[in-house]
Structure 1
C-alpha cells in the first residue's frame, strides 16, 4: 500500500467521524471502526462530499468485546504496517457517585479504559515489528480536572492519562509515539450526559443537578467546533517531528490547567462551588 494506514475507533459520529475524514484528506487510508456499521451513513455521506470515500473502509468493532477485538487482530494480519491508531471510542456517564452503581462505573471503564488497552495491544505487534507508529488517545480536560456529576467519566479519563504516560515510556525505544488529546467543551461533548441526568425530586443532589444543567445550557454557545480536534489529530498523525505527550485544546482549557497546577485546592473548590451557588440551591 502506498498510503499510510490509520485506524480510528468510534467513527460513527463526533470526533471519530471527523478524524476519519481529516486523516483521509491528509493522505491516509483509514479503517473507520464502529460498534454498529449500520450507523456509518453519516460518515460515508461526508466522505463522498469530501471525495475521500475510496480511502475510508468501515469495519465493525466493539472495543469491549474480546471476540470483536480478536476479529480485528485477524484482519490486521493482512497489513504489513499500521502507522496511526486513534483511540476515540468512548462515552460519558453523568450522575453523582452515591447514585451510581459499581456496575455503572465498570461499564464506563470497559469502553473508555479497558477498550483502549485491548485495541492498542491488537496493533502493537505490527507497530513494534516496523519500529514505527503513533497512538493518539482521545482523553479530556476531565482527565486532568474532576467535575461534579462526572465522577465515573473523570475517573476513566484519569486512568487513561496514567496509562498513556507509562505506555509512552515503554514504547519510545521501539519508535512508537503515544500522545493524549485533552479537549474541553465541544459541540459533541460529554456535558450532554449531565444535561440528560434524570432529576429525582427526592435526590439530595437535586439543587446540584439543576445548577449544573443551568451552567451547561448557558455555556452551549461557547462550545468549540469539533473539527478543531480532528484537525489536531491529523496534524499529529502526519507531522515529521515526534509529537508531544499532551495536547490540551479548547476554550479555557489551558487556563484551567494552569490554575489547577498553581492554586491551592481550597481556592479552586471555593470558586467551583460559588459558581454553582449562583444557579442552584446549594448550602
Structure 2
C-alpha cells in the first residue's frame, strides 16, 4: 500500500546529482535483492558491502556507479577503513541502508551470553556505530536518509526469540530517538518492518548451541514450545506474500520519498500487528495473544508446578474475602462506634 499512499512524495535525482547509497548486509537475501534492484538505477551510486563477498559477486556486477567492497559492520576497524575509502572516492554517503541481520532461536533461559552479545552486535551496535560515523557528513550536506530493515519482532516479541527481539527493540528505540534528533538537520530516519518473509534463508532456523537435547522432560522445559512454534512460524513464512524482492521494492520507494515516515510496515502481518498492538488494551493483549499461540494451553504441562486458577474464580474469592472482613463483628463494631 505504501506506493499508493506516498506516490505524491516520490522524487527522482537530477542529472547533476547522483546520491551515494551505502548498503550493509549485502550477502543476505534481502540485501542481494535490494542491491540488484538499486544497481539497475544509474541515477544512484551504490556501494554494496558484506563481511563475506562470495554471495554477492555472482549477483552484482561492478560498474562506474556500483562498487562492491568488504565491510564487517561489527568490527570497528573494518567500519573505519570502509568509510574512509568511500569518502576518498565519492566524498559522501547520502543514504544508508542497513540489511544486516542474524537470528537464533532459543528460550531466554537456554540462551548463552555470547548469543545475546552476537545479536546485539550484529543487529544493533554495529549499524548504530556506522550511523555515528556517517552523520557529520550528512548533517553538513543538509540532507540524508537512514533506512534500517527491522522486523515485526521489534514490535512484538515471540517465545523462543528473546535475543532477536531484544536486539530489534533496541534498534527501533534508538531510531525513534534519532528521528527527533535529526529532523532539524534534514536527515530522515525510517524503519522498514517486514513480518514473515517467504524465502529460503528465512526458512532455515538456527538454534542456540545451549538448546537442551536431553531426553528427560525436566531438562527440556521448553520443548513443547519448540515443537509448536517451529512448524507454526514455518507455515506462516511459507504462506507469506512478502519476499526479499517485495522488501527491496518497498525500500526503493522509501528512498524516493521526500520525508518518509519512521515506521514502514512491509507486509500484511506486520501491518496487522502494528495496529493490533496499538489499539488493543495492554492488559488484555498479552493473555489474548498467548491464547492464540498454537498449543500454548499445553506448554510445560508435564513438569509445571504452578498453581493455576481461572481468573474469574480468583476475583470472586477476593471479593468474598473482602466482604467477609468488612462484615465481621469486629469491623461492624468499629464502624458503629465511629
TM-score, normalisation: structure 2: 0.75
2:155 and 2:273 in contact (8 A); partners too: no
The residue aligned with 1:234 is 252
1:260 Cα deviation from its structure 2 partner: 1.1
Cα distance between partner residues in 1 of 2:188 and 2:277: 27
SS at match of 1:161: helix
1:42 Cα deviation from its structure 2 partner: 3.7
Q: Return structure 1 stretches of 4+ with deviation > 6 angstroms.
A: none
C-alpha change, 1:75 and 1:280, in structure 2 (3 Å) is farther
SS at match of 2:72: coil
SS at match of 2:264: strand
1:3 and 1:28 in contact (8 A); partners too: yes
Q: 2:268 aligns with which of 238, 247, 251?
A: 251
1:190 Cα deviation from its structure 2 partner: 8.3
What pairs with 1:14-53 in structure 2 (closer than 5 Å)? 14-26=29-41, 27-44=43-60
C-alpha change, 1:212 and 1:53, in structure 2 (3 Å) is farther
C-alpha change, 1:20 and 1:183, in structure 2 (3 Å) is same
What pairs with 1:1-283 in structure 2 (closer than 5 Å)? 2-26=17-41, 27-44=43-60, 54-78=64-88, 79-188=90-199, 192=203, 194=205, 200=213, 201=215, 202-223=219-240, 224-239=242-257, 241-278=258-295, 281-282=298-299, 283=301
2:104 and 2:206 in contact (8 A); partners too: no
SS at match of 2:81: helix
SS at match of 1:184: coil
C-alpha change, 1:20 and 1:268, in structure 2 (3 Å) is same
C-alpha change, 1:279 and 1:213, in structure 2 (3 Å) is farther
SS at match of 1:99: coil
Q: Which deviates the most, 255-264 or 202-211?
A: 255-264
SS at match of 1:22: helix
C-alpha change, 1:76 and 1:270, in structure 2 (3 Å) is same
SS at match of 2:40: helix
SS at match of 1:43: coil
The residue aligned with 2:310 is none
C-alpha change, 1:21 and 1:207, in structure 2 (3 Å) is same
Larger Rg: 2
1:13 and 1:43 in contact (8 A); partners too: no
Cα distance between partner residues in 1 of 2:194 and 2:200: 9
Q: Which deviates the most, 267-276 or 257-266?
A: 267-276
2:49 and 2:68 in contact (8 A); partners too: yes
Q: CA RMSD in A?
A: 2.3
User: Over residues 176-220 of structure 1, what are the superposed CA-to-partner deviations in whole Å (9 max), with x where a residue is unaligned?
Assistant: 111111110102488646575666244110011000012123223
1:210 and 1:280 in contact (8 A); partners too: no
1:147 Cα deviation from its structure 2 partner: 0.8
1:131 and 1:175 in contact (8 A); partners too: yes
The size of the alignment, in residue pairs, is: 276
- Which segments of 5 or more consecutive residues in structure 2 lack a partner in the other structure? 1-15, 302-338
C-alpha change, 1:33 and 1:191, in structure 2 (3 Å) is closer
